[in-house]
């Protein structure tokens, strides 16, 4: 299976750039050439989809962390900061 991945260039960022449709086309072409079985092709497509979803989640987490860092560095209040201030104000008003 790793050889197939190398052969069609789905390592690293290349994986994220390919659409599911394009992956299916590439796999279908390999199946037609007899280079992989239909079962292996289906399994590979599932793996690619799973890997893309995982990459997306990881990218979203990374971006969120970096944005939060940038906000802190720039001194911009986050939603959490504002909510805490509102709670403090409400607490003071209640006294």
pLDDT in tens, the chain (95 residues): 456 555 555 555 555 566 778 888 888 988 899 988 989 888 888 888 888 888 888 888 998 888 888 888 888 888 889 999 999 999 999 98
Of 65, 1, 56, nearest in space to 27 by CA = 1
Taken in order 71, 75, 81, 86, the sign of the CA dihedral is negative
Give the predicted TM-score (pTM) of the model: 0.54
- 11 touches 5 (CB < 8 A): yes
The alpha carbon torsion through 78, 67, 71, 79 (nearest 10 deg) reads 0
How far is 88 from 91, CA to CA, in rounded Å?
5
What pLDDT sits at residue 75? 87
What pLDDT sits at residue 8? 57
């Amino acid at each position: 299976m790793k050889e197939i991945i190398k052969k069609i260039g789905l390592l690293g960022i290349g994986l994220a750039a390919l659409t599911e449709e394009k992956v299916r086309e590439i796999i279908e072409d390999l199946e037609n050439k007899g280079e992989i079985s239909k079962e292996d092709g289906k399994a590979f497509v599932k793996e690619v989809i799973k890997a893309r979803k995982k990459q997306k989640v990881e990218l979203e987490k990374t971006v969120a962390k970096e944005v939060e860092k940038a906000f802190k560095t720039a001194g911009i209040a986050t939603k959490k900061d504002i909510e805490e201030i509102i709670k403090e104000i409400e607490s003071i008003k209640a006294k």
